[in-house]
Amino acid sequence: MSDNVTPTTGAPVYALQCQDLKKAFQGVLAVAGATFDVPQGQITALIGPNGAGKTTVVNLLSGMMPSDSGRMQLVGTDVTNWPSHKIARRGLMRSFQLSRELGGLTVLENLLVAPKHQAGESLFNIFFRPLAVRREERENVERALETLKTYGLYDLRDNRARELSGGQKKLLEIARAVMAQPKVLLLDEPMAGVNPALIDRIGEYILDLKASGVTVLMVEHNLNVVEKICDHVIVLAEGRTLATGKLSDLRANQDVVQAYLGEVINASTHG
Amino acid sequence: MSAFWYYVFTLVFFLFDYFILAMGLNIQYGETGILNFAYIGFVAIGAYVTGAASLPNSAGTGQQYIMGWGLPFPFNLLLGGLVASAVAVLVALIALRRLRTDYLAMVLVSLSLVLYDVINNYVPLFNGADGLYNVPQPMAGIFHLTTNSFIPFFAVVTGLVALLMWFIMSRIMNSPLGRTFRAIRDDDGVAGALGKNPFGYKLTSMIIGAFYAGVGGGLIIQFGGSFNPTAWLPGETFVVFAVIIVGGVGNNVGMLVGALLVETLLIHLPAFLPEIPGHPGLIEYIDTMVVGVLLMVMLWFRPQGVVPERVRKSAGMLADRARGRGRQLTTASEGQGKSGE
Ligand SMILES: Nc1ncnc2c1ncn2[C@@H]1O[C@H](COP(=O)(O)OP(=O)(O)O)[C@@H](O)[C@H]1O
Ligand SMILES: [Mg+2]
């Protein structure tokens, strides 16, 4: 039996947990004690005003930068200050707020980089186990082409990734992360700057990922989207967790409304 | 053999040798993004080690050096490459672990200056500032080669070595490993977030590139029979950079074209031209300037080089499987030739 469904042992029903995470840049506290849990198999939104530290939290959780203090757990394993590649190999993938495609590689190659522990990444295997390398590569190419079809990028497969439009790059980042078969997916504003039709499509993709068992934590400004697809919300303000819960509960929370939601809720519900 | 053919085969030798050197720097810089400003140091290590391993015991030779095993070709060459790779591991552990690209470049320049000073001043290692000389001509005994026939013979041997190393390099570059190198070149943060350990792959790339540098150096000392500090002034690194930038970073055919244009035509051919009357040695300075100007013109007008990195198309990946075993050679000759864009 898997140990991740027995709450009595303290084993994770949470995919991610962080306690009192702190990170300062030149003395400015970007994250000033973030504490929250991300439930497994659900979609959680990370919201908060600009500069609240959301991206920094994503950077800490994915190991892109070390935290100054605090602890993080990924599916029950303490991964505090692990380097990003080790965290990734444990099943956490992420996208970037400002798309970071591998520009010189083709769209297809961007996906082909993603699978973990490829036989063909070893010099020994390339020359002494060429058949195993080729077999695995064939499987990966086929799966990557399928994934590109799903995300509507198939026709662009042979284009260099730097040639894509902003929206296409957002899709590519998600497709690339999915290609790595993540357990946990962190999305940093996956819908920012894309057209409304694409926003709906990306929302569908995220719901599909949830249906296939992936835990999603997404930074999102659009509260309509949050309302539609997210199960939980974490509110971050000035680097601290201000509140967590369901969006409907948070609307009733006076602190939250004052600190952040007020204007946004009013703006978005009027629209 | 007439002086003309002597010149021609000397040029052919340098063409193939710099092809090898360019492939080594290309995997480091062009594929993996490591700005290795110490590259010529690895060439020198390969040259000295190959030379010292092929020379007889130093007693009575009038030179001081380590090894002196009389090691025959190609084992001496292999040893030169392997020692260069081993030094690359040390350099990577010192410099490659944490430093950003620009700092890394500075550290590598410093390391190459230190290496230069140590080798040229610590005489017991490789005979100090005099360098090694009287290095035996490989296989001359077996094939009854004379001083004259050795030149074309060894130019051809170098061509065969280059062909083998091209085959190996194409295979690496077209593998998932090569793809991961290019991912790290484009954005090592993203590669890390995808579960690739950037340091591990940069280390691998350094080892491979240094092996090519070492072999290229080992061929130089065996071709000329000697090697000394004037052969590897730190600025020589930039000649190899010029070769790969002019030829087209990321493309092996580009490496050959770059070696032809920069090393053969600009660096070595002028040495055989008549002196400008009244200005002895001027030509040598002019050719360095011409390389510098060519580099700037290329970076300005055609930064992707004469033969740009090719786009690896999905149809090619699918067709490769069907062709099975013959695939690497076909992709190397046919695929690399396509200029992409
Ligand atoms: N690499 C960095 N260097 C310096 N300051 C940074 C850096 N990254 C973020 N910050 C600062 O930290 C604060 C939080 O930024 P960020 O995490 O990007 O917020 P959000 O994603 O919520 O808009 C901001 O004040 C920002 O200017
Ligand atoms: Mg942000």
Å between B107 CA and nearest CA of chain A = 23
Q: Does the structure show a pLDDT above 70 at B39?
A: yes
CA-to-CA dists, residue B99 to B102, B103, B198, angstroms? 8, 6, 12
The Å distance, Cα B180 to ligand 2 centre, comes to 28
Q: Does the structure show a pLDDT above 50 at B281?
A: yes
Instruction: Give nearest CA residue, ligand 1 atom 6.
Output: A25
Contact predicate B73/B222, CB 8 Å: yes
Tokens in use for A60?
A: 């800490």
Nearest ligand for residue A49 CA: 1
DSSP assignments along B149-193, one per residue:
HHHHHHHHHHHHHHHHHHHHHHHHHTSHHHHHHHHHHH-HHHHHH
Tokens in use for A90?
A: 């444990």
pLDDT for the residue B58 = 85
Atom of ligand 1 nearest to the CA of A59: 17
Instruction: Give nearest CA residue, ligand 1 atom 26.
Output: A51
B47 at interface of A, judged by CB pairs closer than 8 A: no
- How many contacts does A have with B, using Cβ atoms within 8 A? 110
Who has greater pLDDT, A56 or B333?
A56
The Å distance, Cα A235 to ligand 2 centre, comes to 13
Q: B61-80: per-residue pLDDT in tens?
A: 888 889 989 999 999 999 99
Q: Does the structure show a pLDDT above 90 at B319?
A: no
Q: Identify the structural domains of chain A with CATH numbers, from first to last.
A: 14-101+173-270 (3.40.50.300), 104-163 (no CATH)
* Residue A37: HSE in the Cβ half-sphere, 13 Å Cα cutoff: 11
Q: How far apart are CA B339 and CA B305, in angstroms?
A: 10
Hunting for tokens 């290019």 — which residue is that?
B182
Interface ipTM > 0.85: yes
Contact check, Cβ <8 Å, B317/A137: yes
pLDDT for the residue B325 = 45
A71 at interface of B, judged by CB pairs closer than 8 A: no
What's this model's pTM, rounded to 2 decimal places? Answer: 0.91
Contact predicate B217/B209, CB 8 Å: no
> Which residue of A88, A134, A158 is in closest CB contact with B321?
A134
Contacts of A104 in chain B (CB under 8 A): 182, 185-186, 250, 309
B190 at interface of A, judged by CB pairs closer than 8 A: yes
B203 at interface of A, judged by CB pairs closer than 8 A: no
Instruction: Give nearest CA residue, ligand 1 atom 27.
Output: A51
The Å distance, Cα A54 to ligand 1 centre, comes to 8
Q: Each residue of B140-158: b (16+ CB within 10 Å) or e?
A: beeeebeeeebbbbbbebb
Instruction: Compute mean pLDDT per 10 residues along chain A, 271 residues long, and list them.
Output: 47 86 94 95 94 96 96 94 96 96 97 96 96 95 97 97 96 97 97 91 96 97 91 93 87 73 50 36
